[in-house]
Structure formats: C-alpha cells, structure tokens
Amino acid sequence: MDGDLFVKILDEDLMASLDYYGKNARDIIFQQDNDPKHTCKKAQEWFKNHEFTLLPWPAQSPDLNPIEHLWDDLKRRLGRYEVPPNGMIQLWERVEKEWNEIDGQVCQNLIESMPRRVAAVLKARGGYTKY
C-alpha cells in the first residue's frame, strides 16, 4: 500500500463509515501509527482538508493500537478452520464471518484499556510492557 491507496481508502471507506454511523470528522480523533503512507504529504493534506484531528503518535512508539489485538483475535479464529480456504473469495467470506462475530464488548474492553496501556508505556519509558 502506498499513500495514494491509503488516501483512496480514507476517501471511500472511512468517509462511508462515518456517514453510516452519522458522524463527521470533528466527532472523532483519528489514530494511526507513523507508517510513511500515513504521514506522507498527500495523506496529511487529506486529513487537514477533511478537518480531522489526529492523535499525536511518537515515532517508533510501542504498538498500542487496539486494532492489533483484534487482528490477532481474527487470526486465531481463522486458524480454527481445519481446511485452508480454497481461494480469495472463500478467505474473504471467512474473514467477514469471523470479524462480524467478534463481540462488541471485546472492542469496548480494548478501548477502555488504553489509559492503562499508555500509563504502562510511560512508566517503562517506552520500553517493554505486557501489552
């Protein structure tokens, strides 16, 4: 993925999600890491033009993004299938099914864990934490 594709995803998928949930850019703080596609000029201009507030994120910070834990959960769920998918369509169907079955409370718990995570990173001065 490069900056152009990232901006396309923001433009199409992020904006559609906000619209679906009745939100606008001023309602949220957008979190991302410092991957070059996220910090390129084109992406930064897109966020500015769409009036997003970005959560400041230090370079080479520990990975505190809660979505990473959801990806891990999804990977475990996909690993329970005895037979590998027979192609991209079946893989996508499985991903969609398993993603939709993740309980909303799992997401809420991850969000609520953020203050503890940040405190742990600060205490460890950016070093290793249990998260």
Nearest Cα neighbor of 78 from 97, 61, 55 is: 97
Nearest Cα neighbor of 42 from 72, 74, 8 is: 8
Given this model, what pLDDT does residue 24 score?
92
Give the whole-angstrom CA distance, residue 90 versus residue 109: 30
Given this model, what pLDDT does residue 63 score?
64
Given this model, what pLDDT does residue 117 score?
87
H or E element in which residue 53 lies: strand 53-54
Residue listed under structure tokens 């084109």: 42
pLDDT tens string, the chain, 131 residues long: the values are: 999 999 999 999 999 999 999 999 999 999 888 889 999 999 999 999 999 999 887 766 666 778 888 999 999 999 999 999 999 999 999 999 999 999 999 999 998 998 998 898 889 887 778 77
Note if the pTM is more than 0.75.
no
Given this model, what pLDDT does residue 33 score?
82
